[in-house]
Each structure stands twice: as C-alpha cells, then as structure tokens.
DNA sequence: TCTTCTGATGAAAGCGCTTTCAGTCAACGT
DNA sequence: ACGTTGACTGAAAGCGCTTTCATCAGAAGA
C-alpha cells in the first residue's frame, strides 16, 4: 500500500461496467430507484458499495441543475443567535439531503452583495438572508436570479420570509417597564445603519412609551457594537446622565447582560435601583444573576422554518409568503416595580 | 416586466459572442487574466459586466476539478466555541475566495461519517474536522479520498492538525487549585464517549493531582451534556456528596458557569466556600459574577489557522504537520485560597 | 531574407452525470 | 395468433466550463 497517489476516483461508468448495466441505469439507481427492477437495483447497489462509489456533486449539479445546497448569509456566525438559527437550519436541511453553505458579512452591505454573488455562482438551490434591508444591487441580483430566497427576522413584504415582530418585542419590553411604574427608560441598540431588526425594536419601544404619554428621547438611546462590552459601555453612558433612567432595555440580551454587569460594578442593585430587560431570550439570560427579564424570540424555529420553507420552494411547493413567529415576555428578577421615590 | 419566467442565465458562450472572442478567452479572462492582452481583457470584462455574467460553479468545478469550497464538520454550530472557530474560518476562507460548507454531527460518529460522505460527494477541496477520534470508516473514507484534511483541537499524529494541549489545559486548571491549597477537587466533563478533548482535559487534571500526591477519583468526576444546565446538574451532584469537594473544574466554561449558578442558588459563596475554574475562555466568562478563572483557548486562531492550512494544502504548499496553540490560565475571582479549615 | 521564438487566441475534447427518447420484451386482451 | 400496453433499460445528447494543443501574427536572431 504505502502512499499511493490517489487512485482515480470511482465513477458512475465504472459502476455501470461492474454491474453490467448502462450508465443511465446506475444514475437511476441513485436518483429514482423505483424505476428499476429489484434485481437490477440490488446488483447496481452491490457494485457501487463494493467499489466505494461516491457520486460527483459537481457533475450532478451541472447535469441536473440542482446542487442540493442551500446558502445562508448572516451578519456573523459568532453570535449565539445566528449560531442557533444556523444549527437548526443545518439539522433540518441535512435530513432532506441538503448541505449548508454559509457566509457572513459583518454588517457590511457590500460584503453581503459579494456573498450573494459568491453563493449564486456556487449554484445554491436557495438562499437564507437576515433582515430586509440591503444594497439595491443585492436585491436586484436576487430577483434576477429567480432563486428561492427566504428572509429571516424581518420581511420586506416581497420576498418570502420567516419573521418575528421586532417592533412588538420592543413594545413588550417597554410596556413591561411602564407597567412597573418606570417613567424614564433608556435603551441600548445595535448600530441602526444596516440593522432593521434593531430599528424596529427601538421603534416599538418608543411607540409603547408614547402611547403611555411618555417618550424615548434620543438622549436615552445609545448605539453600540453588538457585544456584551457594548452593552456595558452603553449602560455606563446612560447611568452617567444627569437624570439617569430607572430602567434599561437592551436591544439584544447581550446588551442587557452588559447592563447587569455595569450596574454590579457600580454597586447598583438590580432590580432595586435599576430594572433591566433584554430581547432575544438567550439560554444564558436565564442563568445570569439576577435572572434577566427578556422578550423571548424563537431563534431555533426561525432556522427550522427557513430551512423547511426553502426546501418547499425548491420543490415548487406553495409556501406562506410570510410566517410571523410569536415573541413572548419572560419575566425574571432583573425588573421590578419602581420603588417609591 | 412583470413575472418573467427566469430569463436563461447568461453563460460563458454568451459573453464570448458579445465580446467577439472564443470561449477559451473568456474563461482565461476569469481565471488567468495575465494571459490576455489588455485590450481583449478589457473587452471581455466589459461584456461580462454588461451582461451580468456569473460563472457557473458546478461547471467550473467539474471542468477544473476544484470547487473552491472547504467543508467543516463540527459537533454543533450552536456553541460559542465552534461558532467562533467557524466564523474565523469563514472570514479567512472568504478572503481567499473559498466558501464554507458546514455540517454538524451532534456527537454521533455515524452522523459524522455521513457528513464526511456528503461533503466528499459535494467535492469540497478540503475538510476541517474536530478532534482525532472517529469511526474507522470515516478515517478510511478520508484517507482514500486523498483530500486535504485538518483536524482541530486534537490531532492524531497522522492527519495535519491545528491543536491545543487539552491535557495541559486540564493540568493548569488543577494545578492552580492545588496551589491554592485545595485537596479535594471535583470535575465536570462532557460525555467522554466521542470526545477526546474532554478526555484529555480530564486526564491532564488527574495527572496534575496525582503528581501532587492527590487524586481525582471517579466519584468526583461527573459526565454531563455540554450545556450550562449540565454544568449546574453536575455541580449539584458533586456538592451533594458526603465529602464534598472544595473546588470544581469545568471541562468547558459553560460547566463552570453552571457551577457558579448552582452555588449561588444554594447560597454558597464563590470563591469563599467553593472555588471554580473553567476551560475555554469564553467572552462570557469574564463577565459572570464572580469573574470565572479559566484556561483560555485561542478558539478564533484555531479557525484562522485551520483555514490557512487548508488553503495551503490545496495549493500544494508545505504545511506544519501539527500546530500546537498555547493555552493560558486566566485568574479571576472565582477561585481563591482554601480558607483555614 | 529566412528561421525561431514568443505571446495571444481559437478549436475541440472532455469533466461525470442526468435525462429524453427509443427500444425490447413479456404479459394481456380479443 | 397479433396488435397493445406497460415495465425496464440503453444510447446519446448535452449541462457550462477548463484546458490541452494547434495556430498565427509579429518580434527577434542569424
């Protein structure tokens, strides 16, 4: 044996010869076994097995026009949110024989365009994207490609989408705090530039406050990078205000956890001196101290449904234009009634 | 316009015709622009641009034998560790024009075999795997394929690998606690079945204890699912022992964070009544309360290097057989000297 | 002036598979 | 007994691109 230079890979025609059938028959044995007689099928399978035949995906894709691959483009893989959604997608796709091709754009519309181009070129059968906001060029690319596309978290009313009501999430967080008697509420959000989810959450919170005769002035909103440290920094800024808020909403749970930390570092008791509410419902949030009140988002289901929807679209089965998944307030210890002044 | 049935996609021959050159020339304009005269190149590019030409990846892969795709198979995407490594890989790969195809096996060797088969079939140019332990069948598949393969976290001395010294990580954690005066130390590890990283960490910790004249009996080791809840449950089991340990090591940071939580729930002060050390160095660990002492692992670099190594192997450039990345103890507040008895 | 290069381009043969279109053959109906 | 039907299978034409190999100017050398 030793280091043998990779033996020429077994190909379909080898199997055909070995089994004494035509190439067409072997192909059918793989893709439409029902068309073959049991004996032929068994013979072909035996040969394929014995020779260790593995179909060449590129050739199949070229000949059939389907790559059995779905692409997903997310802001980053390094986030509990997208990691969970992708894991769910991947699991669902794998069951259907699809593979997941991933790309990230790090909040850059141009990078997203590039990623779309790359995935389109690679011949994915469908594409999952996050949010509805993107460079017009990207949208044009998507449209002219005619490829099945599913937007997630936010829809645009045109592409198929699996979404949550981000504005409602913001609203629930705010209403909860309002009900507890808070009147001065601050919010930390991600950079709003290329992030419609954060914009919607902010808008929802603001609207809830206004409906209650209150307001969420820009002075009480701070934009931060989507990290725990960003949340902590945002919290610090808000707490340093002359008329500091009595409650804070994190546009993502990570922000809220950062707030918990900053409050702790300052010796401010949560929830006694500061109430904190997040949005996302990370596993982690149930485990921090105090437990984080948050608006839970069914992240895994978004991934599962996006995958299922894409699979259905590839198969030309009808699908919901937009699936809206419910968000839900989960009250824990980080928020409480505003103590009497 | 309206709903136009997807216009036949622009293909290389269309560009060739438009530019008044042969298909070969267009192909060269894409892959080896240096071979063309500046004028021809410009003309072809202009045509391609105008027609919106996007090369067909499947056809390229079939004709050239390279798919410009790298595969990665991890236990799960839904873990801060693998998510970070994959994000790093993806970023590095994207810069080199490669795309990342991901699969997860959820700690099932059979699922891993299947994933390898799927990725091999899809014609990836290289493959990243986690750990060195796997079904013999998988290894055979990998070997006969002759594909560039990089193992991560643990190597097997045969395949190229980007690793960390897991045993050293366990050892550092244990030695730290021993130095603080702890004599009775417990450890929570992931299921050891198909996880050589956890086995090595356990072995390292055990060895450190034995070298100090102590021991880590099986009664003080509990296997748990790799989640925060698993860590908490493991901690509970260990604390319920008659002769409870004074310090706990988490085989992953998540376990250690679970310990913090369980201790908190029981009203046990950390580190006064219980010292806790983790292994991984999650961002989160710096932010929990008390800050978690942990053995930091350069997760992102593992991903970067795995990608770089794979790219080099595809290009037939020589690479290190095994790159061992350093781990480092980061002392925070969760561990302290054992108080006088 | 006549080779000999060199650089730029084209013609054409696949890459390994799918799929249409025919064709074969046994069973069936009348 | 003979056209029909239906179930299988095979021949062959690509899928869209890459890559030899050949060609053909024009530059350089003799």
Give me the residue from B88, B101, B228 closest to A100, CB to CB: B101
Strand D nucleotides in reach of protein CB atoms, 7 A cut-off? 7-20
* Across B86-90, B172-176, B271-275, B336-340, least confident range: B336-340
- Residues of A with CB below 8 A from B61's CB? 57-58, 61
pLDDT confidence tier of residue B8, bands split at 50, 70 and 90: confident
Mean pLDDT value across residues B95-121: 96
Mean pLDDT value across residues B162-172: 98
**Structure confidence at residue B288 (pLDDT):** 86
Taking the CA of residue A341 and the nearest CA in chain B, the distance in Å comes to: 29
What percent of chain B has a predicted confidence (pLDDT) above 90?
A: 92
Which of B4, B54, B333 to mutate to probe the A interface, most A CBs <10 Å?
A: B54
Taking the CA of residue B270 and the nearest CA in chain A, the distance in Å comes to: 13
Mean pLDDT value across residues A25-29: 95
Question: Nearest CA to the C1' of C9 belongs to which residue?
Answer: B25
The mean of the pLDDT values for chain B is 94
Compare all CA atoms of chain B with the CA of A140 and give the residue at the minimum distance.
B52
Using CA atoms, how far residue A210 sits from A138, A175, A190, A216, A283, in Å, is: 36, 10, 22, 8, 31
User: Does A102 contact B104 at a Cβ distance shorter than 8 Å?
Assistant: no
Q: Is the pLDDT of residue B113 over 50?
A: yes
A75 touches A32 (CB < 8 A): no
**Nearest-angstrom CA–CA distance, B23 and B235:** 67
**Nearest-angstrom CA–CA distance, B140 and B134:** 10
**Structure confidence at residue A289 (pLDDT):** 85
pLDDT confidence tier of residue B287, bands split at 50, 70 and 90: confident
**Nearest-angstrom CA–CA distance, B129 and B160:** 11
**Structure confidence at residue B7 (pLDDT):** 61
- Residues of B with CB below 8 A from A93's CB? none
**Structure confidence at residue A310 (pLDDT):** 97
Mean pLDDT value across residues A281-303: 95
pLDDT confidence tier of residue B5, bands split at 50, 70 and 90: very low
Q: Which residue has the tokens 């990725």?
A: B119
**Structure confidence at residue A7 (pLDDT):** 61
Taking the CA of residue A112 and the nearest CA in chain B, the distance in Å comes to: 12
- Residues of A with CB below 8 A from B7's CB? 144
Mean pLDDT value across residues A12-31: 93
- Residues of B with CB below 8 A from A146's CB? 6
User: Does B122 contact A99 at a Cβ distance shorter than 8 Å?
Assistant: yes
Q: Output b/e per residue, A157-174; b: 16+ Cβ within 10 A.
A: eebbbbbbbbbbbbbbbb
**Structure confidence at residue B1 (pLDDT):** 33
Give me the residue from B122, B228, B258 closest to A57, CB to CB: B122
Taking the CA of residue B196 and the nearest CA in chain A, the distance in Å comes to: 22
Backbone dihedral angles phi then psi of residue B164, each to the nearest 5 degrees? -130, 160
Compare all CA atoms of chain B with the CA of A85 and give the residue at the minimum distance.
B78
Q: Is the pLDDT of residue A72 over 70?
A: yes
pLDDT confidence tier of residue B35, bands split at 50, 70 and 90: confident
Render pLDDT for B201-227 as a digit per residue (tens, 0 to 9). Answer: 999 999 999 999 999 999 999 999 999
Q: Is the pLDDT of residue B110 over 60?
A: yes
Give bridge partners of residue B267 from the DSSP assignment.
none
Q: Is the pLDDT of residue A3 over 60?
A: no
Q: Is the pLDDT of residue A6 over 60?
A: no
Render pLDDT for B132-149 as a digit per residue (tens, 0 to 9). Answer: 999 999 999 999 999 999
- Residues of A with CB below 8 A from B56's CB? 62, 121, 123
Which of B55, B63, B87, B304 to mutate to probe the A interface, most A CBs <10 Å?
A: B87
**Structure confidence at residue A5 (pLDDT):** 43
* Across A254-258, A335-339, B14-18, B126-130, least confident range: A335-339
- Residues of B with CB below 8 A from A304's CB? none
Taking the CA of residue B69 and the nearest CA in chain A, the distance in Å comes to: 9
Q: Is the pLDDT of residue B47 over 80?
A: yes
Mean pLDDT value across residues B324-328: 98
**Structure confidence at residue A2 (pLDDT):** 33
User: Does A104 contact B120 at a Cβ distance shorter than 8 Å?
Assistant: no
Contact partners, residue B273, CB within 8 Å, separation at least 6: B263
Render pLDDT for A191-217 as a digit per residue (tens, 0 to 9). Answer: 999 999 999 999 999 999 999 999 999
Backbone dihedral angles phi then psi of residue B86, each to the nearest 5 degrees? -70, -40
User: Does A121 contact B69 at a Cβ distance shorter than 8 Å?
Assistant: no
User: Does B76 contact A87 at a Cβ distance shorter than 8 Å?
Assistant: yes
The mean of the pLDDT values for chain A is 94
Q: Is the pLDDT of residue B2 over 70?
A: no
- Residues of A with CB below 8 A from B91's CB? 104, 106
CA of A54: nearest nucleotide by C1' is C16
Strand C nucleotides in reach of protein CB atoms, 7 A cut-off? 7-20
**Structure confidence at residue B341 (pLDDT):** 61
Q: Is the pLDDT of residue A1 over 60?
A: no
Residues with CB under 7 A from strand D: A 20-25, 28, 35-37, 39-41, 59, 62-63; B 9, 11-13, 23-24, 26-28, 30-31, 53, 55-56, 59-60, 62-65
Render pLDDT for A105-136 as a digit per residue (tens, 0 to 9). Answer: 999 999 999 999 999 999 999 999 999 999 99
CB atoms within 10 A of CB A219: 11
B159 touches B147 (CB < 8 A): no
Using CA atoms, how far residue B99 sits from A8, A305, B69, B107, in Å, is: 25, 24, 5, 24
Tell me, in Å, how far CA of B22 is from C1' of D22? 15
């Amino acid at each position: 044996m030793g280091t043998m230079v990779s033996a020429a890979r077994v190909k379909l025609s080898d199997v055909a010869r070995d089994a004494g059938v035509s190439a067409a028959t072997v192909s059918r044995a793989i893709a439409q076994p029902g068309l073959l007689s049991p004996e032929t099928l068994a013979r072909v399978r035996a040969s394929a097995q014995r020779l260790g035949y593995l179909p060449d995906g590129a050739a199949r894709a070229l000949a059939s026009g389907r790559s059995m691959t779905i692409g997903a483009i997310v802001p980053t893989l390094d986030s509990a949110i997208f990691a969970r959604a992708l894991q769910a997608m991947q699991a669902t796709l794998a069951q259907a024989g699809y593979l997941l091709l991933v790309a990230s754009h790090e909040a850059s519309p141009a990078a997203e365009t590039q990623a779309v181009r790359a995935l389109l070129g690679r011949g994915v059968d469908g594409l999952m994207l996050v949010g509805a906001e993107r460079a017009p060029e990207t949208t044009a690319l998507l449209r002219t490609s005619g490829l099945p596309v599913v937007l997630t978290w936010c829809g645009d009313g045109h592409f198929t989408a699996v979404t949550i009501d981000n504005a409602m999430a913001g609203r629930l967080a705010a209403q909860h705090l309002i009900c507890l008697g808070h009147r001065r509420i601050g919010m930390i959000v991600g950079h709003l530039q290329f992030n419609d989810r954060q914009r919607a959450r902010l808008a929802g919170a603001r609207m809830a406050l206004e409906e209650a005769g209150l307001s969420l002035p820009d002075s009480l909103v701070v934009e931060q990078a989507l990290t725990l440290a960003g949340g902590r920094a945002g919290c610090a800024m808000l707490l340093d205000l002359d008329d500091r808020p009595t409650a804070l909403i994190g546009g993502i749970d990570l922000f809220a956890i950062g707030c918990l930390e900053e409050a702790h570092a300052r010796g401010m008791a949560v929830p006694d001196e500061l109430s904190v509410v997040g949005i996302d419902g990370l596993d982690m949030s149930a485990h921090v101290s105090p437990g984080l009140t948050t608006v839970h988002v069914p992240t895994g289901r978004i991934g599962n449904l996006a995958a299922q929807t894409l699979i259905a679209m590839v198969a030309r089965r009808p699908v919901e234009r937009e699936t809206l998944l419910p968000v839900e307030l989960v009250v824990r210890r980080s928020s409480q009634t505003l103590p009497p002044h």
